[in-house]
Structure 1
Amino acid sequence: MNALRGISLKLGSVVLFVVMSAMIKATAPDVPAGEAVFFRSFFAMPVILLWLAQRHELSIGLRTNDPVGHLWRGLIGVSAMGCTFAGLGLLPLPEVTAIGFAAPILTVLFGALLLGEKVRAFRMSAVAAGLIGVSIIVWPRLTLDDATRGAAMGVGLVLLASVFRALVQIQLRRLVAKEETSAIVFYFSLTSTLLALCTLPFGWVIPDAQDAALLVAAGVIGGIAQILITSAYRFGEAGLLAPFDYASMIFALILGYVVFGDVPTVWMLCGAAIVIASGVAIILRERHLGLKRGRTRAGMTPQG
């Protein structure tokens, strides 16, 4: 029963994160990415604080043994979020979602390079297949004619976001050894809010009523989604819950078509299928090897 509850919470978070991304995409033509990051982070904080208070974990969530570690997590996470939000303004929602699946694959490489983790043939083969899948998705966008230059820039931004998200996971593996998940969630919202304010001199705008409502709602929904994903890992193992991240592709395809009229290409669908299969294979292999990733994933968002 606990596993079913964990799956339900995880799926709920996946749906809400896709809805939040759609809201950010709807405002992207008018609102700079840095400003969107501020709204997403600032309006998530009251939700997270209320949740911590309701669980009598407010003192735990506000206590930290590694403020510098949280600052680094914030810097890298804000970079990932900003690149993702900018990419949403240039690419269809399903495509951004599919390219973002490169992050767990890159994490395996960074784990080997930066943490000295052993990566044997099976996981390395899955990584190689995943990178081929990403190449299939992005290849049609990499021409430099006037009609596709913006899309090529969007691909670059989302790929860069995936690199940052992979680095976030490496930083989180260091943080979870000495920090509670609730503190990681709270301090990311705090640091990302403050860091997003640094983009104020670079062209913030006063959003109209519709954009303002969407941005505030995106922040609140993002906060709720973060609570759901954190709670999910209290009830289910990482190896069981992590594959449900890929359900976001289904919801992104539906929202992309219904809201934005985005019709996925065959190349994008084929590449996404390869990337998803590779990611699931890596997760199942890590589960088989007994690698514990639950607390790390509980502190993550799809943007970083």
Structure 2
Amino acid sequence: MKFKLTLWLFAFLLSSTGMAGDKTLIRIGALAFGTVNWELAALNKENLLANAGFELQIIPMANPQAGKIALQSKAVDLIVSDWIWVSRMRAGGSDYTFYPYSNTSGALVVPADSPIQTLTELQGKKLGIAGGELDKNWLLLQALGQRQNIELDDAVTKVYGAPPLLNQQLLQQRIDAVINYWHFAARLEAKGFRQILDGAEILRQLGIEEQVPSLGYVFRQSWANRHQQAIAEFLQLTAEAKDRLCRSDTTWAKIIPLTKAKDSATQDMLRQRYCEGRVQKWGKANQLAAEKIYQLLRRLSGNKLTGSSEQLQAGTFWQRD
């Protein structure tokens, strides 16, 4: 089955409960260069959709905000986003819900020969921060600094910027370290740069042992209730696609062009970090850990990231009937 790059006008004309023949139509809004495209492509290249009970339509999105707008306007049924946004929207009366997609998170990276080994040695340095002042990795890094009596917000010179630009700044020695999204951090590692902490290690040092995916598939609860078999099959098949990408060199080779990585070292590092992010466990303990993270982010952002709700909203994480 060929993936369809559908015009926005056509997307809006389709209803959220549309059917493709006798199959449920699932319209997913995916970033043009997002890693979710790797497993969506693998669904096609591995022929996993041949007997699926749903029809998949991929609608390219220019950026994460465009995906959220498309979901809210019912131009798509599903996007990849974060559970903090889901909780905030539920507090406002929406019925969005979240199912884990990846455990992989950002990382703090320095040059191989950098003297920086700990957060203490980060003081007085120029730190590149992807995602702005409300980036979750940056906020959690500040929480870890506070545990070590370091106010990183005051102790470093903050340089905000787009992820690829920050990588260039580090390569050109204009900044001393960067906390960047995982795939940009992986590209630096492939060039010999050194990872000090990733998101999972930050959480462990904050006393949170359970893995909590920051990204997941987001969709309306009401839509999922109407199409439970289709969404369950979609999630099962995408997990199978991800496993094949990690188990089979042949499957991985088919999607390498999507990584935009020209050298084998970068391709291998991207694959390693991507596969480390596979969600192996997701249950009550992980969701309780998410509540702890929510409280940290709420305090550190002054409610700017989470909204005014004092707690993670019930229903944020999808529970199958």
Q: TM class by shorter-chain length?
A: under 0.3
Larger Rg: 2
Q: Which has the higher contact order (CA 8 A, sep 6+)?
A: 1
**TM-score, L = length of structure 2:** 0.26
**TM-score, L = length of structure 1:** 0.27
More strand by proportion, 1 or 2? 2
More helix by proportion, 1 or 2? 1
